[in-house]
Amino acid sequence: MLWVGVLCGAAQAEVIPVYTSAQVAPLVLPDGSGIYPDMVAYLNRQKLGGLSFKLVYLPRKRLQLKAESGELDGIVIGMMPHWFDDSAQKKYLWTAPFALDRYVVALPPGSRYTPGTTGTLTGGSLGMVLGYSYPDLHEWMRQQGLVRADALSDEHNLEKLRLGRLDSVALAESVLRYYRKHHQPDAFLVYPLPSRQTERRFLVPRGMTAVYDKIAPVVRKAKDDPEWQHAMLRYE
């Protein structure tokens, strides 16, 4: 009877894939830690009705296609509505943000560009991540006359900038802060970009309402939970 109970419990457990296309520190670190793995572990500690969450990597374009085609069999971590053309939040269900960020531009030392001046980056290359959309930056890029240059990750772009193979890089401030902490802290000039604050949320397909109803209250309260606050301090 004991074994029957154990098997029934195992059968009832449901593993929910948590998709991400991020492969950059501090969102995801090589040792398996990072903001996103920590959030998944945080959800698992809440014992949400027998649900178990597992972080799964999926390239950005494939992730977008699965979402748009209705084939998404899990939830997506770290996204914003307008990145998925859902500013009205009608296509998908969205949790409250569990982390806040903003986009910045990194430039080599000695650059003459400063925001609010007549100086521009005309003709220069702007490093971005392959497959990622940056809708808030389209107008700024046009005004600056920048040419997008894609790489597989923000870290690759920063290395190319350091080696003089790029003129500038657009990336999340948290990613740059972590890079500078572990590499050369004064290697770049940094300026905020004219984009809205990045709110890292969960995207949940509308067919997974039951999952959304369990995680949404937890994510909403996370910012005030000392346990989550302490976890986030490791990546400052």
221-230 pLDDT, tens digit each: 999 999 999 9
32-48 residue pLDDT tens: 999 999 999 999 999 99
Least confidently predicted of 54-58, 122-126, 132-136, 181-185: 181-185
Residue type, 109: P
Architecture of domain 105-192: 3-Layer(aba) Sandwich (3.40)
Tell me what pLDDT residue 119 has. 59
Tell me what pLDDT residue 12 has. 64
Residue type, 90: K
Other residues' Cβ atoms within 10 Å of the Cβ of residue 47: 9
Highest mean pLDDT among 109-123, 175-189, 192-206: 192-206
Least confidently predicted of 5-14, 173-182, 222-231: 5-14
Q: Superfamily for 13-100+197-233?
A: Periplasmic binding protein-like II (3.40.190.10)
- CA–CA separation, 28 vs 200, rounded Å? 14
pTM, full prediction: 0.86
For the chain, how many residues are written? 236
Tell me what pLDDT residue 66 has. 95
Question: What does the pLDDT average to over 198-219?
Answer: 97
Tell me what pLDDT residue 116 has. 64
Whether the per-residue pLDDT at 186 is higher than 80: the answer is no
Q: Assign 1 a pLDDT band (cuts: 50, 70, 90).
A: very low
Q: Where in the chain is the domain with CATH 3.40.190.10?
A: 13-100+197-233, 105-192
- Omega prior to 17 cis, within 30 of 0: no
Q: Assign 120 a pLDDT band (cuts: 50, 70, 90).
A: confident
132-145 residue pLDDT tens: 888 889 998 998 88
73-110 residue pLDDT tens: 999 999 999 999 999 999 999 999 999 999 999 999 88
